[in-house]
Amino acid sequence: MTMNPYLELRELVCTARRVLLTGPQYADGDSVGATLALAHAVRAVGDAEVVVAADVPYRYAWMTGADEIVANAAVHGDFDVAIVMDGDQYRLAPGVERAYRAAAKQVVVDHHRTTDLAGYHLAFLDQNAAATCVQVIEILDAWGVALTPDVAEVLYVGLIYDTGGFRYSNTKPQTHHVASRLLATGIDHASIASRVLMEVRPQGMRLKAAISGAAVFWGEGELVLAACSAETMAKCGAEFGDLDGIVESLLYIEGVELSILVVERPGEVKLSLRSRGKIDVAEFAQSLDEGGGGHAKAAGVLLDGGLDAWMKRLPNLALSALSARDGVER
């Protein structure tokens, strides 16, 4: 008889000495919330040492448990179980990737349809989940772990981040049911929403102005392409977390169907892609590099090469992709 996968995961972490919980190299509200909530659950059912790895943007540093998160570069030692959440093993930071692959058992918990499930001891993929945090609630329920206010708070961060405060099309009736459960614990949902979705630092305000002011429209306004150089980041005194929300704001300009933000990194660029539905940006990301992916309307990819070179190449590539597609549902 096949064991329930949730209970199989519970047995794995209960018999482990050390458990690693991590997410994509560039953490966001869903990956941070999901790893913190599952870390609580693992500690509740067993005695394993739990290491949560992430480079936490300032926007999420206030979350309960965030002060105990280990920076990606500081992850070391052997792990019996390693769980990657809100992404797959190909999106990990280099140091974390080595620890993840060396673990005795590897697990993935994710909701991106582009995730490849090969190579995991256990895989939990739910493409209909609005956020990975929704999947974590299912794990908590299966394990009989109570939904405390502290846990509900970090889960709510992930839920509102990935649904854009329930504005995106991945918001379904079940999404509001989940939100209702979290709010019923007494969390201050208004404060969480303002911190995660609306509040920016002065550095972030300057960064958004610099990026938006230099954005270029293509294809009769259907495509907007913007760049963020290392120099711009430095001049604004900004950091990675200050980029949150900028590519979305570019998408919701009248006439725009596709927004692309190209961020310069050492030896590479990071593309954030958003679509209103005319183009599947997960497919577009994968056409640029097999490591790209995400959702039909929100995706990303890391590309080797310089900022200037990609800013020259992307308009034709993106416009060709736009003209080839009739639309996507999600």
pLDDT for the residue 324: 86
Confidence at residue 197, expressed as pLDDT on a 0 to 100 scale:
94
Question: Which CATH architecture is the domain 5-197 placed in?
Answer: Alpha-Beta Complex (3.90)
Of 243, 324, 250, nearest in space to 287 by CA:
324
State the DSSP code for 119: T
Q: Which two tokens stand for residue 300?
A: 């990303």
Beta strands in the chain (DSSP E): 18-22, 49-53, 81-85, 105-110, 122-125, 216-218, 223-228, 258-265, 268-275, 293-294, 298-304
Q: What is the dihedral of CA 88, 93, 96, 98, to 10 degrees?
A: 90
Cβ atoms of 238 and 53 closer than 8 Å? no
| pLDDT profile of the chain (330 residues), mean per 10 | 84 97 96 98 97 96 97 96 95 92 97 90 96 98 97 98 94 97 98 95 97 97 98 97 95 97 96 95 94 92 96 97 65
Any idea what the Cα angle at residue 175 is, between residues 120 and 258, rounded to 5°?
80
Judge contact between 9 and 142, C-beta under 8 A. Answer: no
pLDDT digits (tens, 9 = 90+) for 277-311: 999 999 999 999 988 999 999 999 999 999 999 99
Cα pseudo-dihedral 27, 31, 32, 33, rounded to 10? 150
Give me the pLDDT at residue 262, please.
Answer: 98
Query: Of 84, 95, 89, 92, nearest to 116 (Cα)?
Result: 89
Q: Which CATH architecture has domain 202-324?
A: Roll (3.10)
Domain boundaries, the chain: 5-197, 202-324
